[in-house]
Structure 1
Amino acid sequence: MTATRLAAALCAAGLCLASPPAPAWQSDNGDGSYTNPPLNADYPDPDIIRVGEDFYFATTTFANSPGLRILHSRDLVNWRIAGHVLPRLEGGPAFDLKGGSVYRRGVFAPSLRFHDGQFIIAFTMVGQHTRICRAADVAGPWRCHALDRAAFDPGLFFDTDGSAYIATAIGSDGTVTLLSLSPDLTTVTQARKIHHIPGAEGSKLVRRGDWYYLFNAVPRRLAMTISRARALTGPWETIPSINSAQTGGHQGAIVDLADGRWWGFVMQDKPSIGRITNLSPIFWKDDWPVWGTPEAPGRVPAVARKPVQGQAPQQPATSDEFDAPQLGLQWAWNHNPDDSRWSLAARPGFLRLQATRATTFWSARNTLTQKGQGSYSRADVALDLQGLVRGDHCGFGVIGKVNAHIAATRLDDGSLQLEMGGQVDQGDGKPQTELPIEHPARAALPGPRVLLRTELDFTRERGRLSWSVDGRWQTLGDEFALIYDWRTGTFQGPQYALFCFNPGATGGQMDVDAFLFSDRR
């Protein structure tokens, strides 16, 4: 069923949408140019490679499961989700939300390469040793093994003779260490300190001709440095490059095109949506890569010609009717899910979320998330709540630093009620504070079928929740802040969140008929 047909069917059932669903942010302007960012959502710590005429983009996913998302493009502008490296996260019960959570931890800063007919990716989960995974197809399956140490933000590199290395640095020090790997990539054979840049991390190694280039982020300044040397061991000379506040970003590197041109990709922090990735032409001056063009050097352009012409506009999937036998690749659970408590088969055409045992939204398993997108986006979900029992809290909203949501509950008399609630995460183990709400935040439901809406307006840095049973939308509670903060919350921009939990030993269930995404106000 198409999204338009689904909207019509819901309207016939009395659950009308205000307007048909629309696609996500469109970077491709349709005239041979694009507007930054290609993906107007939280896709941090980018690493982009080219294989033939195809580009692949690996990004940080923290505690989300499946983990370590990879996207595919033919022109660096129009992307789709190709798959995930990790079906589940390993490393302890907290990844299953048992005995605590690992928000802000998990998978960080992957490094993706293609060598000897295989995709190879290196990454380090917080508190664990670096892992290297390999696959013949970027969609998997992936085979993984761990090294004997942790390399912070590992920068995987294969030299022209096939030798394999990892460059690594952590911002609390800034010493760049080069790890030599065995031919089978299972063992570190040598570790050498090759350079020092105060505050540097996020290392990326690239070779062009006789020069090696080392790209590093300096997070304390939200800036990038570029170093070059004739040998991997140095000596290196370093120059400052762009920065997040003024010229477009602070962590990334460059990628070559099939015709020999080079383009840069770089991460930029935004106060509410999170960390986006921008794309820039590169030109060379005295064998140094320069972001931008000779006419406007040293900055990422807001609008530029697409690096590869002729590709049709494309975005990662968003809307979902839950008709497929598996979840769409746009979805991720807040931690590893309890697979016994959710199903796409129990009621065909619906996602069934059975209530997991939890005392708070933050600690509930099986919260299903999707990235919020700028500059404005909203999502409507069609729910059937007839399976709710006393004590259930099931509904829709946002997870991040501010966890605002509408929860449906069943009262003692059997009726259903909606309530806006939420918490603000303070980080560092501090208790969450309740979201202040002044306006009426409760509403009685006349029946079990309802539409819930979450709006994310990143231009105003505000979100809003509303509901409908008859085509007329009613706001519930107050607007809430949209905040990205690396120290608190999930270390990600706001994510849409479907949830169902109960503090008791048993609970009911919520059936989700559809998730309809739009960027229309």
Structure 2
Amino acid sequence: MTSPLATRLAAALCAAGLALATAPTLAWQADNGDGSYTNPPLNADYPDPDIIRVGEDFYFATTTFANSPGLRLLHSRDLINWRIAGHVLPRLDGGPAFDLNGGSVYRRGVFAPSLRFHDGQFVIAFTMVGQNTRICRATDIAGPWRCHSLDRAAFDPGLFFDTDGSAHIATAIGSDGTVTLLSLSKDLTTVTAARKIHYIQGAEGSKLIRRGDWYYLFNAIPRRLAMTISRARSLTGPWETVNSINSAQTGGHQGAIVDLADGRWWGFVMQDKPSIGRITNLSPIFWRDDWPVWGTPEAPDRVPAVARKPVQGQTPQQPATSDEFDTPQLGLQWAWNHNPDNTRWSLTARPGFLRLQATRARTFWTARNTLTQKGQGPYSRADVALDLQGLAPGDRCGFGVIGKVNAHIAATRLDDGSLQLQMGGQVDEGDGKPQTELPVARTALPGPRVLLRTELDFERARGRLSWSTDGRWQPLGDEFALIYDWRTGTFQGPQYALFCFNPGAAGGRMDVDGFRFSDQRDAPR
């Protein structure tokens, strides 16, 4: 179903010879179509990966911080082509800040999940900042999930089930490096023992794997963006440790390995990128003296840029991007910046549109109901069609990015009833420091219908905002930087952001008539 506004705007663009894409465009496609793939499989911010195999299916759990729903899960049949399968947490809990009430939890929330499959159930362990570790279970990866909390917080918990069915968690925090093994009761509700089993300076992000008679412990060393591998004949040690790959030269610094149905093993590892965030790379593994080695015997100790797909014959696919908002539920590609106020957004009030009613907030950074989607590399853009007839004086509603640099075009209604577009935003400096304001650019808007475009060029680390009412795209304001920084912003790469807020009383509304994604660089201006 194509909504009326999109049809009218597309017709105007066609008349100008600049038609919008009429079909959704996939993001970065890692599957080369010839039996090989190019890293990364997902060219976007999918950090802290944990990947398991169940039969012929692979499942991927990733950190989502303050985004809601929380704790994203993906599914693949070949480790290369992924789709979003669901989320574990419909909403985040633990205090009013998760609702952007009295503060925010950017850079907090859900961290470093550990996913396993045991006794016919998916089991996931994770620790929200400032809370005890939770263990959730479901018979279907899409949920629903049943969760309970342990009596303590295990930093970056590495869940592990041994061959005898016993359950354990390996945990270490980089400020210390002591690896502790927590043993769990059969029903996974109680910690029955806690033992210090190893020490690696700066270690965290623990993962435990068993292969034959050997236990393998994988740890990230964030201070040098590297990974170590330890092995022992017993869970309690003694362990011997070797250095493995690193983020700067050889492809990553936090991850582990996953077995294939035919007995081969593959490695997954996170790599920091300065503009897009933390990506996940996949690599073949070979074994040398019972140690897993990333790469191939011909090119060892590095993640290959291009390699043969681990499983052949699967159809190329990527997580969904474009959305016409013509179903009563949001697509799984979307997440709110914090828990939403569900009374102030709707997909049914005006069928075929996403309606965002202005929430009361002082700034973009503190506004609820900002709807986000991951930016995609190496280049992507998104166009949205907006109907602004419902804007009230003082509303600031529009489209842009959220991250460390929060650049956006906001539509406002002036006191005389006219409409104006304003490009601006803030740079989050972290630690409670005042945000730095971006240069402001303004233009009058001749009517209530407009297309807004956000371009993200991660190779140049630059973004651009544009607008159109007649098929001629006009940049508004200067280019802005695309920056990933774990110390400031959202701890995520830049995300597309639809928003509507009012610094005074909650005001009017913005109707969004479609989100069109493209990875083509030859976009007309």
TM-score interval for Structure 1 and Structure 2 normalised by the shorter chain: over 0.9
Moved over 3 A (4+): 3-16, 18-21
Report if aligned partners of 2:16, 2:472 keep a CA contact under 8 Å in 1. Answer: no
- Measured at CA, do residues 461 and 138 of structure 1 come closer, stay the same or move farther in structure 2, by a change above 3 Å? same
SS at 2:97 equivalent = helix
1:291-332 deviation digits (Å, cap 9, x = unpaired) = 000000000000000000000100000000000110000000
- Measured at CA, do residues 11 and 92 of structure 1 come closer, stay the same or move farther in structure 2, by a change above 3 Å? farther
Residue in structure 1 matching 2:255, options 243, 252, 258: 252
CA distance in 2, matches of 1:159, 1:18: 51
SS at 1:362 equivalent = helix
SS at 1:167 equivalent = strand
CA distance in 2, matches of 1:178, 1:209: 20
Report if aligned partners of 2:324, 2:352 keep a CA contact under 8 Å in 1. Answer: yes
The residue aligned with 1:200 is 203
1:180-231 deviation digits (Å, cap 9, x = unpaired) = 0000000000000000000000000000000000000000010000000000
CA distance in 2, matches of 1:190, 1:6: 64
CA distance in 2, matches of 1:13, 1:92: 51
SS at 1:512 equivalent = strand
SS at 1:8 equivalent = helix
CA distance in 2, matches of 1:367, 1:406: 14
1:463-494 deviation digits (Å, cap 9, x = unpaired) = 00000000000000000000000000000000
Alignment partner of 1:383 is 2:401: no
Report if aligned partners of 2:13, 2:471 keep a CA contact under 8 Å in 1. Answer: no
- Measured at CA, do residues 246 and 320 of structure 1 come closer, stay the same or move farther in structure 2, by a change above 3 Å? same
Report if aligned partners of 1:15, 1:450 keep a CA contact under 8 Å in 2. Answer: no
The residue aligned with 1:299 is 302
Q: Give, in angstroms, the shift of residue 73 of structure 1.
A: 0.1
Q: Give, in angstroms, the shift of residue 21 of structure 1.
A: 4.8
Calculate percent identity across the aligned residue pairs: 90
1:374-411 deviation digits (Å, cap 9, x = unpaired) = 00000000000000010000000000000000000001
CA distance in 1, matches of 2:229, 2:473: 52
- Measured at CA, do residues 518 and 347 of structure 1 come closer, stay the same or move farther in structure 2, by a change above 3 Å? same
CA distance in 2, matches of 1:359, 1:16: 37
Residue in structure 1 matching 2:339, options 333, 336, 340: 336
Report if aligned partners of 1:16, 1:470 keep a CA contact under 8 Å in 2. Answer: no
The residue aligned with 2:275 is 272
Report if aligned partners of 1:67, 1:86 keep a CA contact under 8 Å in 2. Answer: yes
CA distance in 1, matches of 2:104, 2:447: 35
- Measured at CA, do residues 280 and 8 of structure 1 come closer, stay the same or move farther in structure 2, by a change above 3 Å? farther
SS at 2:364 equivalent = coil
Task: Point out the more displaced range, 21-30 or 293-302.
Answer: 21-30
The residue aligned with 1:490 is 490
Report if aligned partners of 2:439, 2:477 keep a CA contact under 8 Å in 1. Answer: no
CA distance in 1, matches of 2:192, 2:148: 16
Report if aligned partners of 2:42, 2:280 keep a CA contact under 8 Å in 1. Answer: yes
Q: Give, in angstroms, the shift of residue 443 of structure 1.
A: 1.1
Q: Give, in angstroms, the shift of residue 9 of structure 1.
A: 9.0
Alignment partner of 1:72 is 2:75: yes
Report if aligned partners of 2:123, 2:136 keep a CA contact under 8 Å in 1. Answer: yes
Report if aligned partners of 1:214, 1:227 keep a CA contact under 8 Å in 2. Answer: yes
- Measured at CA, do residues 293 and 348 of structure 1 come closer, stay the same or move farther in structure 2, by a change above 3 Å? same
1:255-288 deviation digits (Å, cap 9, x = unpaired) = 0000000000000000000000000000000000
CA distance in 1, matches of 2:186, 2:116: 15
1:1-23 deviation digits (Å, cap 9, x = unpaired) = xx999956975899943786521
- Measured at CA, do residues 135 and 10 of structure 1 come closer, stay the same or move farther in structure 2, by a change above 3 Å? farther
CA distance in 2, matches of 1:316, 1:20: 15
- Measured at CA, do residues 6 and 118 of structure 1 come closer, stay the same or move farther in structure 2, by a change above 3 Å? farther
CA distance in 2, matches of 1:60, 1:4: 38
Q: Give, in angstroms, the shift of residue 503 of structure 1.
A: 1.2
- Measured at CA, do residues 124 and 184 of structure 1 come closer, stay the same or move farther in structure 2, by a change above 3 Å? same
CA distance in 2, matches of 1:83, 1:332: 11
SS at 1:124 equivalent = strand
Q: Give, in angstroms, the shift of residue 39 of structure 1.
A: 0.1
Report if aligned partners of 1:458, 1:482 keep a CA contact under 8 Å in 2. Answer: yes
SS at 2:444 equivalent = strand
The residue aligned with 2:513 is 513
CA distance in 2, matches of 1:363, 1:131: 28
CA distance in 1, matches of 2:308, 2:338: 39
Report if aligned partners of 2:384, 2:516 keep a CA contact under 8 Å in 1. Answer: yes
Q: TM-score, normalised by structure 2?
A: 0.96
The residue aligned with 1:145 is 148
- Measured at CA, do residues 479 and 19 of structure 1 come closer, stay the same or move farther in structure 2, by a change above 3 Å? farther
CA distance in 1, matches of 2:11, 2:55: 43
- Measured at CA, do residues 73 and 252 of structure 1 come closer, stay the same or move farther in structure 2, by a change above 3 Å? same
Structure 2 runs not aligned, ≥5 long = 1-5
Alignment partner of 1:395 is 2:383: no
SS at 1:7 equivalent = helix
CA distance in 2, matches of 1:5, 1:519: 24
Report if aligned partners of 1:15, 1:468 keep a CA contact under 8 Å in 2. Answer: no
Alignment length, in residue pairs? 516
Q: Give, in angstroms, the shift of residue 65 of structure 1.
A: 0.1
1:78-113 deviation digits (Å, cap 9, x = unpaired) = 000000000000100000000000000000000000
Report if aligned partners of 2:49, 2:255 keep a CA contact under 8 Å in 1. Answer: yes
Q: Give, in angstroms, the shift of residue 123 of structure 1.
A: 0.1
CA distance in 2, matches of 1:336, 1:342: 12
Report if aligned partners of 1:7, 1:20 keep a CA contact under 8 Å in 2. Answer: no
- Measured at CA, do residues 18 and 146 of structure 1 come closer, stay the same or move farther in structure 2, by a change above 3 Å? closer
Q: Give, in angstroms, the shift of residue 506 of structure 1.
A: 2.8
Report if aligned partners of 2:171, 2:205 keep a CA contact under 8 Å in 1. Answer: yes
Report if aligned partners of 1:14, 1:470 keep a CA contact under 8 Å in 2. Answer: no
Q: Give, in angstroms, the shift of residue 413 of structure 1.
A: 1.2
SS at 1:11 equivalent = helix
Report if aligned partners of 2:16, 2:471 keep a CA contact under 8 Å in 1. Answer: no
Q: Give, in angstroms, the shift of residue 428 of structure 1.
A: 0.6
SS at 2:343 equivalent = helix
Report if aligned partners of 1:223, 1:250 keep a CA contact under 8 Å in 2. Answer: yes
CA distance in 2, matches of 1:20, 1:262: 37
- Measured at CA, do residues 54 and 348 of structure 1 come closer, stay the same or move farther in structure 2, by a change above 3 Å? same
- Measured at CA, do residues 418 and 184 of structure 1 come closer, stay the same or move farther in structure 2, by a change above 3 Å? same
- Measured at CA, do residues 214 and 518 of structure 1 come closer, stay the same or move farther in structure 2, by a change above 3 Å? same
Task: Point out the more displaced range, 11-20 or 23-32.
Answer: 11-20
Report if aligned partners of 1:14, 1:469 keep a CA contact under 8 Å in 2. Answer: no
SS at 2:71 equivalent = strand
Q: TM-score, normalised by structure 1?
A: 0.97
SS at 2:14 equivalent = helix
Structure 1 runs not aligned, ≥5 long = none
Q: Give, in angstroms, the shift of residue 436 of structure 1.
A: 3.2
Report if aligned partners of 1:355, 1:502 keep a CA contact under 8 Å in 2. Answer: yes
Report if aligned partners of 2:125, 2:159 keep a CA contact under 8 Å in 1. Answer: yes
Q: Give, in angstroms, the shift of residue 241 of structure 1.
A: 0.1
SS at 1:398 equivalent = strand
- Measured at CA, do residues 309 and 7 of structure 1 come closer, stay the same or move farther in structure 2, by a change above 3 Å? farther
Report if aligned partners of 1:72, 1:81 keep a CA contact under 8 Å in 2. Answer: yes
